[in-house]
């Protein structure tokens, strides 16, 4: 009985190897007591395949949207979709270069932003502007926004429900602009964009992926104002962003 099972196993293994060869998958080596090892080399252009023929999904790449940022803002209008509208002064939209290679995303507007209807214009925003200039760029060159567009009371973090109501509009803006790199500022922005439970201290400084777009998590400028010792780490993170953009020049259409 054991011999029969072994023969069946070898037969099935050979069938799987033939299937893999037909798919162009190489680099798999299998040996048994009844069959010599068989080796084929991987083809980089083909998706990875398991021994049992399960094709690994191809990386997801964000499809460029045909709408405009202005159309998205017009659809948002004088938003009352979540409770944050009750105490806000203005809806604070994403602003900046519609062809930006670099985008910064925070969690929500603060008091100054709520008054001026512009993202990152308070003390934290002024520090962000200095950070942008330190990597050799101007604020006008980049795109800046938040997960939520209305100020939460007392500058608290948006609730999950509030973030889920507003987040789709941010994702639509990203699909329109197609930045090469997104810097997410702080835990709330990072967790909402990447759908992760990991904390900012664990992921900061390491490029992540959002549908083919590089994402760099780092500390929020407001946190740096409270703990200036974290500025060095943030600078290291932004240098990686600068170096990536310098080495990957996007060809203009």
**Using one digit for the tens of pLDDT, what is the confidence trace for 60-107?**
789 999 999 999 999 999 999 999 999 999 999 999 999 999 999 999
In this prediction the pTM is 0.77
pLDDT by position in tens, the chain (length 253): 555 665 666 566 666 656 555 554 445 454 444 444 444 444 444 444 444 455 555 567 899 999 999 999 999 999 999 999 999 999 999 999 999 999 999 999 999 999 999 999 999 999 999 999 999 999 999 999 999 999 999 999 999 999 999 999 999 999 999 999 999 999 999 999 999 999 999 999 999 999 999 999 999 999 999 999 999 999 999 999 999 999 987 654 4
Q: What are phi and psi of 115, to 5 degrees?
A: -75, -45
The pLDDT score that the predictor gives to residue 181 is 98
Indicate the length of the chain as a whole number. 253
Query: For residues 145 and 69, what is the distance between their CA atoms, to the nearest angstrom?
Result: 12
Query: For residues 106 and 109, what is the distance between their CA atoms, to the nearest angstrom?
Result: 8
The pLDDT score that the predictor gives to residue 39 is 45
Report yes or no on 35 lying in a domain.
yes
Report yes or no on 63 lying in a domain.
no
Q: What would the DSSP string read from start to end of 133-145?
A: HHTT--GGGSEEE
Within the chain, how many helices (H) and strands (E) appear? 9, 8
CB 104 within 8 A of CB 217: no
Same domain for 222 and 176 = yes
Beta strands, E only, 8-58 = 29-32, 35-39
Report yes or no on 151 lying in a domain.
yes
Same domain for 148 and 86 = yes
Same domain for 95 and 49 = no
Same domain for 73 and 35 = no
- What is the count of structural domains for the chain? 2
Report yes or no on 100 lying in a domain.
yes
Report yes or no on 6 lying in a domain.
yes
How far CA 201 is from CA of 21, 160, 206, 209, 217, in Å, comes to 44, 21, 10, 17, 9
The pLDDT score that the predictor gives to residue 8 is 66
The pLDDT score that the predictor gives to residue 34 is 45
Contacts of 125 (CB under 8 A, 6+ apart): 112, 113, 119, 221
Query: For residues 7 and 13, what is the distance between their CA atoms, to the nearest angstrom?
Result: 10
The pLDDT score that the predictor gives to residue 60 is 74
Which CATH number is 214's domain given? 3.40.470.10
Report yes or no on 64 lying in a domain.
no
Same domain for 126 and 96 = yes
Same domain for 234 and 118 = yes
Report yes or no on 252 lying in a domain.
no
Q: What range defines the domain where residue 191 resides?
A: 69-247
Quickly list H helices, 123-186: 123-134, 160-177
């Amino acid at each position: 009985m054991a011999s029969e099972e072994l023969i069946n196993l070898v037969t099935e293994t050979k069938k799987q190897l033939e299937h893999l060869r037909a798919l162009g998958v190489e680099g798999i080596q299998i040996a048994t007591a009844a069959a010599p090892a068989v080796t084929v080399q991987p083809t980089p252009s083909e998706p990875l395949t398991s021994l049992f023929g399960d094709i690994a999904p191809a990386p997801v790449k964000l499809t460029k949207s045909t709408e405009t940022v202005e159309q998205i803002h017009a659809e948002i209008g004088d938003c009352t979709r979540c409770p944050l509208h009750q105490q806000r002064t203005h809806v604070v939209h994403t602003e900046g270069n519609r062809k930006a290679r670099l985008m910064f995303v925070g969690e929500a507007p603060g008091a100054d932003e709520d008054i001026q209807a512009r993202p990152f214009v308070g003390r934290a925003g002024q520090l962000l502007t200095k950070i942008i200039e330190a990597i050799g760029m101007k604020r006008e060159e980049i795109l800046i926004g938040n997960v939520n567009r209305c100020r939460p009371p007392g500058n608290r973090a948006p609730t999950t429900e509030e973030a889920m109501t507003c987040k789709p509009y941010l994702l639509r803006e990203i699909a329109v602009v197609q930045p090469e790199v997104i810097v997410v500022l702080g835990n709330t922005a990072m967790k909402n964009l990447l759908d992760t439970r990991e904390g900012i201290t664990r992921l900061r400084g390491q490029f992540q992926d959002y549908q083919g777009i590089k994402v760099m998590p780092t500390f929020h400028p407001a946190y740096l104002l409270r703990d200036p010792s974290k500025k060095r780490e943030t600078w290291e993170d932004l240098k990686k962003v600068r170096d990536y953009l310098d080495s990957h020049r996007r060809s203009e259409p």
